[in-house]
Amino acid sequence: MLSRRSRFLLQLFVLLTAGAAVSCAEQSSAPAAPKLVLDGLGKGTAPLDGVWQFHLGDDPSWAAPALNDSNWEQLTADEPWGAQGHANYTGFAWYRRHVTLTPAPGAAPDFALLIQRLDDAYELYWNGVLVGRNGKLPPHPVSYSDQSAQTFGLGPARNGVLAVRVWKAPLSSNDTGQLGGFETPPVAGGPEAIAARKAALDYRWLRGNQFAFALDSLYGLVALFSLLAWLRDRRQSILIWMTGFCLAPVGILLLDNAMLIRLPFNVALGLEQPVYSLEDISLWFLLLSLLQLSESHSLVRKVRIAARINATAFILDGLLILGMYNWTRPQQIADAALTTVFTVTEALPQVLVVIAIVRRKRLDSARWMVAIFAFLVQMLSVAQIAAQQGSRYTHWTLGEWIYAPLFTVNGNPISPYTVASTLLLLSIIYAVYRYSADSSRRQSALEQEFKSARELQQLLIPATLPAVPGFALSSSYRPAQEVGGDFFQIIPIEGDPPAGSGTLVILGDVSGKGLKAAMTVSLIVGAVRVLADNYSGPAELLAQLNRSLDGRMQGGFATCIALRLGLDGSCAIASAGHPSLFLNGHEFSLPGAFPLGLAAAASYEETIFNVQIGDRMALYTDGLLEARNSSGELYGFDRLETLFATNPSAAQATEAAVKFGQDDDITVLTLTRLAAGEESTAVHAVPGH
C-alpha cells in the first residue's frame, strides 16, 4: 500500500502528463497558416495577395521557415498596417507568407519578386535566408522618401516561407499615422517577367511626372535667364528674387526624388526646409516690387523681419528632421511648433495683396494677375500644411485634396496646386518681363538725363581756367557720382580805382548729390556770372546771389565762399556757411553766416587782408573734410591741417582724401602769391577732360 506522499507524487505525475498531452493535441489541431499556391508561373506574373501573417515587434528568429506563425494576426498587403487597425504604430513588424511556386512547362526554373513600396525600410528573407533589403534597419536606420520598385531573386525554390522584416520611422507632426508596411502586394514571377513588370512601372512613373519635370525645367530656365540678366544689371534686384523663386522648385524636385541618388529620407527632407524658405522669401520680395510696395520702408522692414523668422524656423526644423529617426515626444512637439511658425509667415503674400488693394495701387493687369495667383498658391499651401498638422488626430483630408488630381493629361495628374502654381509662374514671367522692360526704358531715359547733366557740367567747369594775375593756381574737381554738386568759378574783373582790376574766385557746395544737385549748380553758376558784372565785392555778391536763389532751391541750400584778389595782393573774402580757407597751413578765421537759399534777408560780412609773397591759400569743399574710411572714421580737421601743412597741390590733396575713402564731391583750389616778375600759372584736374 502506497504512502500518502507516494500517492500525491503519482497523482501529480498523472496530471502533468495529461496536461502535456492536451497541449500537444491542441498544438497539432491548431489551424495551419494559409498557404498561397501559384501553379504554372511562366512568362507572366502573379500577385502575392490575400492574407499575410503579421506580428508587431522584432525577433530575428521569426525569419525561420519552421516557425509556427498560425497564431499571428492576419493582414492583407494591399494597404498599410496603419489602415488595418494599427494606426500611429512605429517601429518593427514582420510579415510572413507560406508560398508554393510551380513553373509552367518549359519556363525558367528560377523565380523573382517585385516589391513596389514598403514603408519605410525592410529586409526580405526566403526560407530564412536574407535575399535583399531596401534601406537600413536600426540601430543606424536609413530609409528613402521616393521608393522605386525593387526586385529580388528567389532562386529555384518551390516551397517556402517569405518573411519581411519592416521598420517604420517615428511619425512627424504632419504624418497621418495611416502608413506602415505594404501598400501594394508584391508580385512573383520569372526573372524576365519581373524585369518587364518593373520597366513598365518605371515608364508609368516617368510618364506620370513628365508635366512636373517640364514645369520645373521651365522654372530652371527662368532662374538661369534671370540670374544672367541680374549679372548684367545688378541694380534690378527683382531679377535676383526671381532667380531664387524659380530655383527653389528645381531643388525641391531633386530632393523629392532623392532615391535616384540614394539620399536618405531624413537628409533629403532636412535639406528641403531651407529651399522652401528661399521660395517663400523670394516671392515676398517679388511681390513688394511688382505691387509697388517697396517704397514703404516700414513695410519692407517688417517683411525683412518676417524673412528672418521664416528662415530661422525652416533651418531649425531642417536640423531637427536630420535626427528624426531617433525622435522623442518633445522633438515631435518642437517640429510641430516650428512648422506652425513658418506656416504663419507663409501667409504674408495674402497680407501684401490686401495692402496693395487697400492702398489702391494702380497696377497693370500683369501685376494684378501675379497678386491673384500668389494669393491663391500661398492660400493652398498654408491650408495644406495646416490641415496635415496633427491630421492623425483630426483626420482632416483637405491637405490630401489640394494635391489630389482634378484630371489627368497623358497620364499626368493635374491637381489644384499644380494649376495654381503653373499660372503663378506664367504670370510672374510676364510681369517681370514687363517690369524689366519698363525699368530699362526708365534707366535709358535717366542715363540720357545724366549725360546731358555731365555735358552741362563740363561746360560749367571747363578743361582750362584763366590764370590769376600774381598767383599760381591749382584746382581739382572729383564728383562722388557721375555728376556732382560742387562748383567753382574764376572770373576776371575789370574795375576802376580804388578797387581796380582783379579776379573773383567762387567756390561752393550744393546740398545733395546727383542730377538734382547738378541742376542747382547750373542755376547758381549762371546767377554768379550775371551778378559778377555789377557786384564785385564778395559780401555784396553773396547777398545778391542769396536773394536771387530764394524759393528756387527746392528745399535745399548751398554753402559758398567768395574771394576778390587784387593785383597788389589785397584780398576781400566772405563766406556763406562754407568751411574757411587755410592760409599757410592754418585755418583762417571767418565770421559765421547762413548758407545760400535759407533766408532771403541774410547778410554777409566781408574780411580784408593782404596776401604776402609766398603765402599759400587752400580752399576746399566739405567732401575733403568728410572723407570716410571703411571703418567709418572721418578724415577730420587734424588730418586736414597736417595735409595742408605739406603744401600739396589741389590734385594731391584730392587724391589723399579719395584714397582715405571718398564719400562726397571733392573740390580743392590752391593759390600761391608770386613775386613780381614771376609768370602766373593755372593747373586744373577734372575727370573727363
Per residue in 348-362, pLDDT (tens digit) is 888 888 888 888 777
More confident site: 146 or 61 = 61
pLDDT at 518: 76
C-beta of residue 146 within 8 angstroms of C-beta of residue 259: yes
Pick from 68-77, 194-203, 442-451, 586-595: least confident: 442-451
pLDDT of residue 17: 42
Which of residues 183, 204, 225 is at a domain's end? 204
Which helix (DSSP H) or strand (DSSP E) does residue 474 occupy?
Answer: strand 471-478
Please check the confidence at residue 218 and state whether its pLDDT lies above 70. Answer: yes
The CATH number of whichever domain residue 63 belongs to comes to: 2.60.120.260
pLDDT of residue 45: 87
- Structural domain contains residue 451: no
Q: Is the pLDDT of residue 507 over 80?
A: yes
Of the ranges 21-25, 212-216, 347-351, 563-567, which one carries the lowest mean pLDDT score? 21-25
Residues 88-125: b if buried by 16+ CB within 10 A, e if exposed: ebbebbbbbbbbebebeeebbeebbbbbbbbbbbbbbb
Pair 595, 652 in one domain: yes
Q: Which pLDDT band, with edges at 50, 70 and 90, does 210 fall under? A: confident
**Which of 54-58, 328-332, 350-354 tops mean pLDDT?**
54-58
CATH code for position 502: 3.60.40.10
**Residues 550, 551, 552, CA angle at the centre, nearest 5°?**
95
Burial of 669 (C-beta count, 10 Å sphere; 0-12/13-18/19+): buried
* pLDDT on residue 311: 94
Under the banding of pLDDT at 50, 70 and 90, the label for residue 314 is: very high
Q: Does the pLDDT at position 2 exceed 50?
A: no
Residue 381 shares a structural domain with residue 272: yes
Task: Please give the DSSP secondary-structure letter assigned to residue 257.
Answer: T
Same domain, 474 and 397: no
In this structure, which amino acid lies at residue 399?
G
Query: How many alpha carbons lie under 13 Å from residue 68 in its C-beta half-sphere?
Result: 7
Mean pLDDT of the region 432-459: 69
pLDDT of residue 81: 95
Q: Which three cell numbers stand for residue 282?
A: 523670394
168, part of any domain: yes
Is 592 a member of any domain?
A: yes
**Least confident piece of the model among 185-194, 254-263, 288-297, 575-584:** 254-263
275 and 163 in one domain? Answer: no
The position carrying cell 557720382 is: 481
My answer on whether 126 and 227 are in the same domain is no
Beta strand pairing call for 121-126 and 73-76: unpaired
**301 & 386 share domain:** yes
Distance, in Å, from the CA atom of 513 to the CA atom of 517, rounded to the nearest integer, reads 5
Confidence of residue 6 (pLDDT cuts 50, 70, 90): very low
Give the pairing of strands 91-103 and 51-56. antiparallel
Residue-wise pLDDT tens digits, 139-196: 889 888 767 789 999 888 778 899 999 999 888 777 778 889 999 999 998 888 889 9
Least confident among 336-340, 612-616, 650-654: 336-340
Query: What SS3 class is residue 463?
Result: coil
Cβ-Cβ contacts under 8 Å for 343 (sequence gap 6 or more)? 382, 385, 386, 389
Q: Tell me which of 174, 204, 234 is where a domain ends.
A: 204
The helix-helix angle for 191-208 and 210-232 (nearest 10°) equals 50
Domain that holds residue 71: 35-204
| Cell numbers found for residue 628 | 570716410
Q: Indicate the residue among 204, 233, 265 that finishes a domain.
A: 204
Share of the chain above pLDDT 70, in %: 86
> In the structure, what pLDDT confidence band is assigned to residue 113 with cuts at 50, 70 and 90?
very high
Position 229 confidence tier, pLDDT thresholds 50, 70, 90:
confident
Work out the pLDDT band at 495, boundaries 50, 70, 90.
low
Q: What's the whole-number mean pLDDT along residues 4-26?
A: 40
Q: What is the per-residue pLDDT for 24? A: 38
Q: How confident is the model at residue 423 (pLDDT cuts 50, 70, 90)?
A: confident
DSSP run (H or E) holding 379? helix 365-388
Give residue 387's pLDDT: 65
Mean per-residue pLDDT, 569-589: 93
Kindly state whether residue 307 falls inside one of the protein's structural domains.
Answer: yes
What is the sign, positive or negative, of the torsion defined by CA atoms of 227, 232, 238, 240? positive
Closest C-alpha to 469, from 619, 677, 651: 677
The residue with greater pLDDT, 427 or 19, is: 427
Query: Based on the domain organization, do 176 and 217 belong to the same domain?
Result: no
pLDDT of 514 > 70? The answer is: no
Rounded to an integer, the average pLDDT of 11-17 is 41
Indicate whether 22 pLDDT > 50: no
Longest Cα–Cα distance of the chain, Å, equals 168
Mean pLDDT of 42-66: 91
pLDDT at 257: 73
- Domain count for the chain, please give it: 4
Contact 109, 189 (CB under 8 A): no
Residues 136 and 233 in one domain: no
Q: What is the mean pLDDT of the chain?
A: 83
Check pLDDT > 70 for residue 15.
no
Q: Are residues 54 and 23 in the same domain?
A: no
* pLDDT reading at 497 higher than 60: no
pTM of structure: 0.58
| Whether residue 82 sits in one domain with residue 25 | no
Whether residue 513 sits in one domain with residue 429: no
Domain assignment of residue 617, yes or no: yes
Least confident span in 77-91, 142-156, 593-607: 142-156
Is residue 53 scored above 90 in pLDDT? yes
Whether 97 shows a pLDDT value over 80: the answer reads: yes
Residue 11 covered by a domain: yes
Q: Check which CATH number belongs to the domain holding 426 and give it.
A: 1.20.1070
Residue 190 is assigned to a structural domain of this protein:
yes
Residue 535 sits in the same domain as residue 515: yes
In a domain, 447, yes or no: no
Contact 536, 563 (CB under 8 A): no
